[in-house]
Amino acid sequence: MTESRRVEIEYCTQCRWLPRAAWLAQELLTTFETELTELALKPGKGGIFVVRVGDEVVWDRREQGFPEPTAVKQAVRDRVAPGKSLGHSDKPAPE
């Protein structure tokens, strides 16, 4: 398991993306309720929507577009709980 189990979602306040960030945060907290130690919402500007696990960017809207929850869950899972199944929408964890 990776050392950092803190997730941060930085979202653009100018674009009014708080509801999207809060919804994604809820999805992650529900899925990883025992694995995460913290989940932070960080207000930003300039069209930012970035998800980090620790200091590592796992999703950046500018490069990857807006994420589907399943894609972010897989990226977070691969870093904080590699053996965890995500159910029917899961791809196998890397070995």
Span 4-24, pLDDT tens digits = 799 999 999 999 999 999 999
Contact 39, 6 (CB under 8 A): yes
Q: Please check the confidence at residue 94 and state whether its pLDDT lies above 70.
A: no
* pLDDT score at 4: 73
Q: Please check the confidence at residue 83 and state whether its pLDDT lies above 80.
A: yes
* pLDDT score at 41: 98
* pLDDT score at 87: 83
Three-state DSSP state, 20: helix
**What are 58-71's pLDDT values in tens digits?**
999 999 999 889 99
In angstroms, the CA 46 to CA 75 distance is: 24
What's the distance, Cα to Cα, between the start and end of the chain in Å? Answer: 13
* pLDDT score at 2: 43
In angstroms, the CA 75 to CA 79 distance is: 7
